[in-house]
Every structure is written in structure tokens, then in C-alpha cells.
Amino acid sequence: MGLKILVLAKQVPDTRNVGQDAMKSDGTVNRAVLPAIFNPEDLNALEQALQIKDTFPGTTVKIVTMGPPRAAEIIRESMYRGADGGYLLTDRAFAGADTLATSYTISLAVKKLAPFDLILSGRQAIDGDTAQVGPQVADKVGIPQITYAEEIVSIKNKEVTVKRRLEKGYEIVKAQMPLLITVHGSAAECRSRNSKLTMKYKHARTISELQAAAMDYEDILKSRPYLHIKEWTAGDLNPENSLLGLSGSPTKVKNIQNVVFKAKETVSLTAEDKDIDFLMRELISNHIVG
């Protein structure tokens, strides 16, 4: 039995190794100085999808990503690892979206791609850390969801068993497909690129990319149609325009604060009981513990 799986992925600025110029003076992320990478937990989600593909031959894994034209890189990267293709949702009208507008746009694309068995996505993206888009998509599409998945334990008769990562342990839950699962960073790491798939798909392009490179794409896509990365604009999704992008985003960033540690006093403590008692009292009175 082959499954039809969609993986929601996002290209994000690499916020893991930020320098001093990572934020602009207006409090927004300075994307120019941060390299664009595959959101790490989306890679965990991709790996879960590819493992299902390994187990159930005939399974297809397609990526859905919303972003600027260069986000096609995410789809190519997925194809190098075993995904079958993908859809890039790109339009100026989508820009400035918060999680509500993003999930609205993605949900339209997902509905257009129905029927499917599973939607997988990372728990959250490292640029916003909201963990909202996955659950909102499930809600808008009207399917059940399991969040914080660490492992998809089994799939039998349309029933999926999932191990969920909790703060102090885990739980095993079951749900019926179609289903959306958000995958936690503690899940299996994504496999590397495969050499043959990388050579096969390295020329995969969206039509806009081919046009920008002034390539004669009709010939290429006719002889090797698998190199075509689909691109959908707002027009392809029949949206309610007011719900897209900035206009569909009620979230407003009022202000961003830099937390700078200023405390200069230091206290030296020994391992003796009275010092440890003192430390604990301090921590409790500052609401750091307790």
C-alpha cells in the first residue's frame, strides 16, 4: 500500500549561530546576513516521511513550502534525500504573513492536493518558534492532528501509532488518517543527500528560475518532466484576498527587547550545606525555581 504524504517545510534564516548584526535596528531579522537553511525540525519531519516511503513502496512524498522564489531550494534539497517533488507557494500577496495567514495559504494548497493520507511538518520553525502553523493547518483542513511526534511507530489499516515527546516522558497515541503530525527535533535525524538522486534532481527548477536563467525550459521539461518544481501563486489557490499576507495577519510586533544581562555582583559559594541552603533560598525568592 502506498501512501500519499505531504511535508510542510520552511526555508528559514540560520539563527543558530547569530552574530551581532543578526537583528536590524527596527527589531526585525536581518535576513541578508543569515544564511537560508532548511528549518531543522522540518528535516526531522521529512525523515519520518521517507521512512514510511521505505516501508511502503509506492508512497509519494511531496513538499509544500511557502516563501520567496529562492525557497525552491528547500524542495530540491528534499528531492536529493528522497522526496518526489514539491510545490512552492510564492506570491507578493503572501508576504508579511503571520501564522494565521500562513496556515490559511498552506491549507488552500493542501486542500487542492487532496486526497492525501498524511501531512507531516516540523514542530516549529527556528525563526519564530511559534509551533502554530501545523496545528492551524490541521484545523483549517478539518483533520485530526498529533503534535510533538518523536517516532511514527506503525501504520496499520489507516490507523497511525505515534510516540509523542512530552516534557517529562512520552506517550503513545493513535489516530486515523488523514492526519497531520508535527515532528519534534528529538526524532530521527534526516538522512543525508543520496548521490544518485542529487545528480538526477540537481537541475530541478521552477518555471521562474528557468526564466531567470534564460533557459529553454520547454525542451528540458518535456524530456525530463520530473525536473519541474511546481509553483503556485495566489491565483492558483482561489483565496479570500483579505486573508492573505500582511492584510490577513492580526499579529503586530509592537516592540522587540534585547535582553542584556547586567548584573555585576558575584557571590562565591562553597559546597557546604549552609551555602547550598542560601543558594536555594535565593533561587526560590527570585522565582527561578519552585
* Beta carbon nearer to other proteins, 164 or 205: 205
If one asks whether residue 17 binds other proteins (CB under 8 A), the answer comes out as no
* Beta carbon nearer to other proteins, 42 or 117: 42
If one asks whether residue 168 binds other proteins (CB under 8 A), the answer comes out as no
What are the residues facing 87 on neighbouring strands? Answer: 64, 230
Check residue 197 and report its DSSP letter: H
If one asks whether residue 200 binds other proteins (CB under 8 A), the answer comes out as yes
Q: Which stretch binds other proteins (CB under 8 A): 100-108, 164-172, 190-198, 248-256?
A: 190-198
* Beta carbon nearer to other proteins, 196 or 262: 196
Least gap, CB of 234 to other proteins (angstroms): 33
If one asks whether residue 258 binds other proteins (CB under 8 A), the answer comes out as no
Contact 66, 89 (CB under 8 A): yes
102: nearest Cα among 63, 66, 62 = 66
* Beta carbon nearer to other proteins, 200 or 230: 200
Least gap, CB of 85 to other proteins (angstroms): 14
CA–CA gap between residue 76 and residue 1 (Å, rounded): 26
CA–CA gap between residue 119 and residue 140 (Å, rounded): 13
* Beta carbon nearer to other proteins, 31 or 191: 191
Q: Which stretch binds other proteins (CB under 8 A): 61-69, 132-140, 185-193, 248-256?
A: 185-193
Check residue 26 and report its DSSP letter: T
At 109 the three-state DSSP class reads helix
Give the one residue of 20, 157, 195, 285 binding other proteins; rule: CB under 8 A. Answer: 195
What are the residues facing 61 on neighbouring strands? Answer: 5
Cell of 2: 502506498
Cα-Cα end-to-end distance for the chain: 51
Give the one residue of 15, 194, 208, 233 binding other proteins; rule: CB under 8 A. Answer: 194
If one asks whether residue 199 binds other proteins (CB under 8 A), the answer comes out as yes
67: nearest Cα among 43, 36, 45, 42 = 36
Number of residues that bind other proteins (CB under 8 A): 13
